[in-house]
Structure 1
Amino acid sequence: MPTFISMMRILFSVIALGTIAGCDLAERDTSACESYGFSPGTEAFGNCLMERDQTRKQSMADALRSSGDNFNSTPARTCSTYVSAHGSTVQTRCY
């Protein structure tokens, strides 16, 4: 079972790599959302970027949980709420 120190090293590595790769990730997310047909500056484009970010964060959280992290016995949940430009549509997704 990983110790607290080893878990902190893993977490630091993930944060450091995320910081270094942040610009590349933003460019890839932008390119991906444009390739899906979303236009920059639109609500749909913003939702696409947000969903890609949430998916990435959830993947990192899942990886940390599966590495033997017993610090928290209750699995963390991430929820995202999307509201249309006119406020008529609200959608919440929890992972």
Structure 2
Amino acid sequence: MRIFPALSLIAMALALTACQTAEEIRAADEARCSSYGFRRGTENFANCLMNQDLSRRADQRAFMESNDDFFWGPSIVVGPGYYHHHWH
């Protein structure tokens, strides 16, 4: 069955992210931005933190989108009449 491996991957990903608290994630992001040379309290440091968060969210979206076909099957393109709703 194809769904079991994907569910296992999602469960593992959720378990791994659940291991880190929001404070731990924030501390890791701050450490990374500091290692890039940004100083705390500056606009560049805040932008770095925001980019870390956006990157994490993009990774999550990419993971979910990469599994869409697995769960829902391939996309099906329906002819133009489907979108126009001209049912006479």
Please tell me the TM-score bracket, short chain as reference.
0.5 to 0.7
The question of 1:59 aligning with 2:59 is answered yes
TM-score by length of 2: 0.57
The question of 1:35 aligning with 2:35 is answered yes
What is the total number of aligned residue pairs between the two structures?
69
Percent of residue pairs bearing the same amino acid type: 31
Where do 5+ consecutive residues of structure 2 fail to align?
A: 76-88
- Quote the Cα distance in structure 1 between the aligned partners of 2:47 and 2:59: 18
Map 1:8-87 onto structure 2 (within 5 A): 10=10, 14=13, 17-22=16-21, 23-67=23-67, 68-70=70-72
- Quote the Cα distance in structure 2 between the aligned partners of 1:58 and 1:39: 25
Q: CA RMSD in A?
A: 2.9
Matched letter for residue 35 of structure 2: S
TM-score by length of 1: 0.54
Where do 5+ consecutive residues of structure 1 fail to align?
A: 74-95
